[in-house]
Amino acid sequence: MDLELKGKVFIVTGGGSGIGEAISKGALQEGANVAIIGRRLIEDEVLLDFLQGYTENYIFIKTELTNIADCEVAVAKVVAKFGRIDCVVNNAGRNDGIGLTHGNPEAFQESVNNNLTHYYSMAHYALPYLKKTQGNIINIASKAAVTGQGNTSGYVAAKGAQMALTREWAVELIPDNIRVNAIIPAEVYTPLYDSWIKTFANPEEKLKSITDNIPLGKRFTTSEEIANMALFLSSSKAAHITGQHLYVDGGYTHLDRVI
């Protein structure tokens, strides 16, 4: 299926690793242009493997996403490079373990800021360009906002807000024909996930305890499966889908009764 993304311009926050990397890679493979936005500056000499073969189709923009001015500058750089914006994928964030018991109000506030504020900032500054292209916004949220997880109040509060903003923006932007949707992953084995797993005394045992509870295939969702949904939602094939929370999780969130 041709998703008709050739020449489109994607902004992907956290687009150099994990789920963000898979989305960036998939968009490039579809012929789109990608702006990878994040804290880490990736120099040409250590170019990520998935960018090999693409010369003018991407740009790295080092951005402190919690800094509102940085977000405004990043959007301006994207437009200066590519002349348009068709899709903003809000993805950057981290499950930082700031809980109610093991945390404090200051740490909670910082966690929410790290995981939420830039979703609004990037959408806000990209909005004039999205109106011109009748583009779309995709928010990467988390099943933890639906089920809870324990000891991650800041992250869950941010993810729940992302899901609420998805519906709010979808309503607000209908007159502009801008679609807004959220993808809800559950267990996706990313580098950050790997770092968390390695904190356990028996990582393999912990992994098995998780995959045993994933109904479809008893396996993790891949980053590529999240990316496939994002690319579909960004395309004209999904032209009548907005305000939706789409779960790509092997049934983990809602089908626990089949375990």
Which residues are catalytic, by number?
Answer: 155
- What is the helix (H) or strand (E) element at residue 13, kind and residue range? strand 9-13
Report the distance separating Cα 230 and Cα 141, nearest Å: 12
Residues 6+ away with beta carbon under 8 Å from 29 = none
d(CA 124, CA 121): 5
Cα(178)–Cα(86) distance, integer angstroms = 10
Q: CA 187 to CA 220: how far, in whole Å?
A: 6
- Cα–Cα distances in Å, from 100 out to 65, 152, 196? 25, 8, 19
Answer yes or no: are the C-beta atoms of 26 and 258 closer than 8 Å. Answer: no
d(C-alpha 236, C-alpha 51), whole Å: 25
* Contact (CB, 8 A) for 39 and 15: no
What residues are paired with 245 via a beta bridge?
182
- Sign of torsion, CA 61 131 120 72? positive
- Other CB atoms within 10 Å distance of the CB of residue 110: 16
Do the beta carbons of residue 248 and residue 184 sit within 8 Å? yes
